């Protein structure tokens, strides 16, 4: 379970970074915020993987997986918040905006008046009816379930 949780979290971050840097999707403020739990959970579940591999006490592996699961639940809540804003179910924050990617200082000065950061209330795109935020809700829930299965499942599930 530790390997599956760790690999899944890495895959999610690799995918969103690919969409950003290869696909050209500029993330809004809420999109960037949804990544933060992953950035915290990846090293935590990486330690859980090391703990399982080195056969550290089970409480260490299970505790780390539980923390990873909680972080994924937090990512899910952030995804729900963002998806709700995109669907117009509730108001977003007034300061929502991302930042365009700028390669050098000269470009930064030139782009100050022309680059419009993406709005948090408009989905960059939808796949099977869900935006990136909506998919994050589903994936975060799955990853939380995997981490919690390792943390609270049968004795050998943390190392599975």
Segment 44-72, tens digit of pLDDT: 999 999 999 999 999 999 999 999 999 99
Q: What is the pLDDT of residue 3?
A: 94
Q: Considering the domain boundaries, does residue 10 fall inside one?
A: yes
Task: Write the pLDDT tens digit of every residue in 83-115.
Answer: 888 877 887 776 675 444 555 556 656 655 555
How far is Cα 139 from Cα 80, in angstroms, rounded to an integer?
Answer: 12
Residue range 138-150: mean pLDDT, rounded: 96
Place of tokens 């000065």: 109
**Residue 111 pLDDT:** 57
**How many Cβ atoms are within 10 Å of 31's Cβ, its own excluded?**
25
Residue 136 CB neighbour total at 10 angstroms? 25
Please compute the mean of the pLDDT values over residues 109-130 and round it to a whole number.
67
d(CA 80, CA 136): 8
Contacts of 158 (CB under 8 A, 6+ apart): 1, 2, 48, 52, 58, 61, 62, 65, 150, 151
Is 112 inside any structural domain? no
For the chain, give the percent of residues with pLDDT over 90: 51
pLDDT at 155: 65
pLDDT at 99: 47
Residue 130 domain-assigned (yes or no)? yes
Least confident of 1-15, 37-51, 106-120: 106-120
Q: Based on the structure, what is the number of domains in the chain? A: 1
| Residue 133 belongs to domain spanning | 2-90+119-152
Per the domain annotation, does 111 fall within a domain?
Answer: no
Whether residue 103 lies inside any domain: the answer is no
Please report the pLDDT score of residue 132 as a whole number: 84
Three-state DSSP class for 19?
helix
Q: Answer whether residue 73 shows pLDDT above 90.
A: yes
- pLDDT for position 82: 87
More confident residue, 112 or 140: 140
């Amino acid at each position: 379970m530790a390997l599956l949780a760790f690999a899944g979290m890495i895959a999610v971050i690799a995918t969103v970074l690919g969409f950003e840097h290869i696909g050209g999707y500029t993330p809004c403020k809420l999109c960037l915020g949804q990544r933060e739990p992953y950035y915290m959970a990846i090293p935590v579940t990486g330690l859980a993987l090391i703990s399982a591999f080195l056969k550290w006490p089970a409480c260490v592996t299970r505790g780390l997986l539980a923390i990873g699961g909680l972080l994924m639940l937090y990512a899910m809540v952030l995804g729900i918040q963002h998806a709700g804003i995109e669907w117009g179910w509730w108001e977003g924050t007034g300061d929502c905006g991302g930042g365009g990617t700028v390669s050098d200082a000269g470009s930064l000065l030139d782009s100050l008046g022309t680059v419009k950061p993406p709005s948090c209330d408009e989905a960059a795109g939808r796949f099977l009816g869900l935006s990136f935020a909506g998919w994050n809700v589903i994936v975060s829930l799955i990853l939380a379930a995997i981490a919690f299965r390792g943390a609270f499942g049968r004795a050998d599930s943390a190392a599975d």
